Amino acid sequence: MAKITYVEFDGKEHVIEVATGLTVMEGARDNGVSGIDADCGGACACSTCHVYVDPLWVEKLPKKDTMEEDMLDFVWKPDPVRSRLTCQLKVSDALDGLRVMMPEKQI
């Protein structure tokens, strides 16, 4: 399990324990966090699970693969360093304390 903090665009925080093996997106979806739509269900075929990763976590996460990089071209106000798709972030004990912020909208 890892405690992950999801911060909605308006600043509302959700601290959720997410089981190892799930994705950060599944943790949000399964706990009703607003701001992560996950239209494709985690197939990396849309960009509606986009978040901005807390700067302290950017280097701790696995690198983006080509498919994620391509989908990030379609997000609302991408940040070349901090933007990630939560469907591509597998939860492990190493993610305990991760903090992600939702964009103003998903497209």
CATH code of residue 65? 3.10.20.30
> What does the mean pLDDT of the chain come to?
97
* Residue-number span of the structural domain to which 15 is assigned: 2-101
Evaluate whether 21 touches 91 at the Cβ level (below 8 Å): yes
In a domain, 29, yes or no: yes
DSSP three-state, residue 18:
strand
In a domain, 46, yes or no: yes
| DSSP E strand stretches across 1-107 | 2-7, 13-18, 50-53, 83-85, 99-101
| pTM for the structure as a whole | 0.96
The number of folded domains in the chain is: 1
In a domain, 107, yes or no: no
CA proximity to 84, closest of 105, 97, 103: 103
Q: How does residue 101 score in pLDDT terms, banded at 50, 70 and 90? A: very high
In a domain, 106, yes or no: no
In a domain, 36, yes or no: yes
Amino acid letter for position 33: V
Q: Can you tell me the mean pLDDT for 19-27?
A: 98
In a domain, 97, yes or no: yes
